[in-house]
Amino acid sequence: MQQFWTSSYIKKVFRFDDNHISLQSLYNAEEKKYIPTAHREQRGKINVRKWTNEQIPSIGEKFGFLKRPKEQVVICKYIQKGGVLKTTTTFNEARVLGLNGVRTLVIGADFECSITDVIMDKHEITTLNDRPMTLGLYHLLVENAPLGDVIVKTNLPTLDFIPETHDLVALDKWLNQQTRREYVFKDKVLPLLNDYDVIIFDNGPSWNHLIENSLTSANTVICPLGCNLLAYNASETNLSSIFEFQEKMALDSQKVFMIPTLLERNSLSQQIYGQYLTKFEKYIIPLPIRTSVKGQEALVCKQTILEYAPTSQFAQDYYELITSLWSKIACLGEN
């Protein structure tokens, strides 16, 4: 994982050239204390500036390409199909928001602990006593654990998460027994999270009470659509579940965005992408994420693709998607 950020690296990740920002602007902001002061490392006759991960969100808030929303954004990431980059896109979106100074919380709600496996630092375990004690939504809601014991920090001060635990199965059963069972997250969790600009619920592919609560809490739903035959065959049936639930719960102002993923060069994948553009014209963001080994490598390193390979075409795809998506999401609360 990246430990220090040089000026040239910041320029690449934050797309200075695309946004008409010069390195001199960065240096001027440092001199005027608008951004944190970098550490200096002597390399021959040159002093190289090096910022830490903890300092980067302050730079992102000043020079980044995503701005904090005027009102809190709550996102439900869901699709009733696994393997379509749901968790991968959640991680990239959340971390890019954090890098840009947007205070973001990811809440894991997948029985398979997908987003937790991606975000949480792994420690070598040699005995059972080495296992970390992890708390999650179950402990917050059922056992009344303090919020501070449940939220886990990352190496960015603007990105936190509530990890998934295997108690989510028990939480799903507990929710079924509650009055206003679809509103438990909205009534009891969201009021504790006013310090965050963005909250993202990362759900599993099987419909359950966790997903119903995530949908009821959210003002935005994001659905990744894989450009392959299995995902295509399931798309209409799967998405109808969301629309039917929206109607049942009178979620009239909730917006749905669909993002095409796993696009390949073969004719079938391209045809499926074309069908998505036609069938879901009202909802789709026409900036597909292509299949890429670099994306998987970035996850292993616990980095976004913009950090791992900032000059790659895959990073450019994500940059264009996230900026387009955020321009639509961040203005939802505006008149």
Q: Which residues contact 219 (CB under 8 A, 6 or more apart)?
A: 73, 74, 253, 254, 255, 332, 333
Query: What domain range is 9 assigned to?
Result: 4-61
Higher pLDDT, 158 or 82: 158
CA distances from 281 to 36, 66, 220 (A): 44, 25, 17
Answer yes or no: is 283 within a domain: yes
Task: Assess whether 29 and 109 both reside in one domain.
Answer: no
Measured distance CA(164)–CA(161) in Å, rounded:
9
Return the SS3 of 19. Answer: coil
Domain final position from 15, 34, 61: 61
Answer yes or no: is 182 within a domain: yes
* pLDDT for residue 130 is more than 50: no
Total structural domains within the chain: 2
Task: Assess whether 20 and 130 both reside in one domain.
Answer: no
Q: What is the mean pLDDT of the chain?
A: 91
Section 313-335 average pLDDT:
84
Tell me the per-residue pLDDT of 21-43, one tens digit each, with 9 for 90 and over.
999 999 999 999 999 999 988 88
pLDDT band of residue 157 (cuts 50, 70, 90) is: very high
Section 286-312 average pLDDT:
92
Task: Assess whether 268 and 303 both reside in one domain.
Answer: yes
| Short-list 104, 7, 2, 13, CA closest to 54 | 2
- Residue 88 in tokens: 């991968």
Residue 140's pLDDT is 97
- Residue 97 in tokens: 């928001």
What does 157-226 look like in DSSP terms, one character per residue? TTEEEE---TTHHHHHHHHHTSTTGGGHIIIIIGGG-TT-SEEEEEE-SS--HHHHHHHHH-SEEEEEEE
CB atoms near residue 310 (< 10 Å): 18
Higher pLDDT, 123 or 222: 222
pLDDT band of residue 168 (cuts 50, 70, 90) is: very high
* pLDDT for residue 274 is more than 50: yes
Residue 132's pLDDT is 53
Residue 214's pLDDT is 97
Handedness of CA 178, 179, 185, 190 (dihedral sign): negative
Answer yes or no: is 309 within a domain: yes
Task: Assess whether 178 and 314 both reside in one domain.
Answer: yes
* pLDDT for residue 129 is more than 90: no
* pLDDT for residue 210 is more than 50: yes
Q: Which residues contact 162 (CB under 8 A, 6 or more apart)?
A: 105, 106, 107, 108, 136, 137, 140, 150, 151, 152
Pairing of strands 159-162, 198-203: unpaired
* pLDDT for residue 332 is more than 90: no
pTM for this predicted structure: 0.93
Tell me the per-residue pLDDT of 48-93, one tens digit each, with 9 for 90 and over.
999 999 999 999 999 999 999 999 999 999 988 888 999 999 999 9
pLDDT band of residue 122 (cuts 50, 70, 90) is: low
Instruction: Classify burial at 177, counting beta carbons within 10 Å of its beta carbon; exposed 0-12, middle 13-18, buried 19 or more.
Output: exposed
Residue 98's pLDDT is 98
Side-chain-side CA neighbours of residue 316 (13 Å): 5
Task: Assess whether 243 and 320 both reside in one domain.
Answer: yes
Higher pLDDT, 1 or 99: 99
Domain final position from 61, 84, 110: 61
